[in-house]
Amino acid sequence: MSEAAKPKKRKRVNVRRPDVMTLVQEEVEKHFHSPIVEKLRESGGSLTIGKTTIRLAEQFGFCYGVERAIDLAYASRRVFPNQRIFLIGEIIHNPEVNRQLSDMDIVSLPWKELTEEYDDLTEDDVVIVPAFGAPTFFTEKIEKQGCHIIDTTCGDVMKVWRRVRTYAKSGVTSLIHGKRGHEETRATASRATGEDGKGHYLIVLTLEETEYVCNFIRNGGNSAEFLAKFDKAVSDDFDPQIHLKEIGVANQTTMLKSETEDIQRRVRLAIVDRDGNDENFQMFDTICGATQERQDALFDMLNKPMDLLLVVGGYNSSNTTHLVEIGNENLPTYFIREASCLESLETVVHFDIKKNSEVSAPNILSGFDKEKVTIGITAGASCPANLIEEAIVRVLALRGISRETIEKS
């Protein structure tokens, strides 16, 4: 194909027109708003009916970045009513939200690797980049295809990208605290190689992995063993003997804040032990503000007596999973996708994060059917208010309390 015949790169499309956004807000409100949740907020996050108390975390549910991504996705269909619209993977990690987009005929494309579906994209097509962002080779591909691009990448994620690009320019290896297969971490890693592709990164998830890296920093080790342990978690041509000399820490924005801070501390100490100072260590706080707020709000709520905790959200949501981890350390905690998981007073279907699967378990509520009970509820930044409302209504229904009673209380 000649240069003249190649598709032209399309600029990012701004769909946030006032006339469009007025209609979008009405539609989003209809799909995801909850009067019961708003009522709970206004009453200080607590509702008691008879012998049952519902306690809601001060911060929960949709954050600004998620709301913005959803608004842009809805707006794209209004601005392009008759064109094919595609989405790289999922807009956020919530099945209800992604179902709504599917009902609007927004088609999800594979996000783990470029497939032939990307070759079939045309200049008339619209492609939405999700809130997590996408690896550079994805965005370069859709630009090459000449598609209209709606970029919903969260601003907090882009802050991390700027940080790792700075590391790459300075010859500093990015140590990324995150899940190596997560969309956001993959997108960040692709930017950590820098504009010339010569930068390097290493992804660590656990403190055990961090200690292994710290031991290598202090004492050296077997490079082949290191690379085998961090398979698919390092940049091309990564050499631990060379690329652990200067390290800058960054993170997937939805990680547990305390764990990221622990990783930063351990890596810094390892470098100080090796070099006698921390001149070859850099760090920058890149935990998402909404993630931190929801974690802090849960810690605050746990200071009050509760019999159990429900965490509502998508099972593949990283920030929601960390709320479950916090809850599990303190009291019986159920990670539920939606209200239907609360099958009865005897049984609840929930996601076991250790087994990484949905399981059926005895419902602790069955032991309190005639006694006072306090139930805490929180949700990750990708969970809409209507799902939280449905969980509240279902819990109270199991306690013999109707929706009408809730609305009148």
Catalytic residues: 184
Per-position DSSP letters for 49-92, written without gaps between them: ETTEEEEE-SS-S--HHHHHHHHHHHHHHHHSTTS-EEEES-SS
Which helix (DSSP H) or strand (DSSP E) does residue 396 occupy?
A: helix 385-398
Paired tokens of 185: 């971490």
Please, are residues 70 and 91 in contact by the beta-carbon 8 Å criterion?
A: yes
Q: What are phi and psi of 220, to 5 degrees?
A: 75, -170
In whole angstroms, give the CA distance from residue 361 to residue 348: 6
Handedness of CA 297, 299, 300, 305 (dihedral sign): positive
What SS3 class is residue 226? helix
Beta bridge partners of 151: 129
Q: Which of 375, 383, 353 is nearest to 290 (CA)?
A: 383
340-373 burial, b at 16+ Cβ within 10 Å, e below that, comes to: ebbeebeebbbbebeeeeeeeeebbbeebeeeeb
Contact (CB, 8 A) for 325 and 335: no
Sign of the CA dihedral with 178 first, then 179, 182, and 187 last: positive
Helix (H/G/I), strand (E/B), else coil: 400: coil
CA distance 35 to 38: 5
Q: Is the dihedral of CA 334, 338, 341, 346 positive or negative?
A: positive
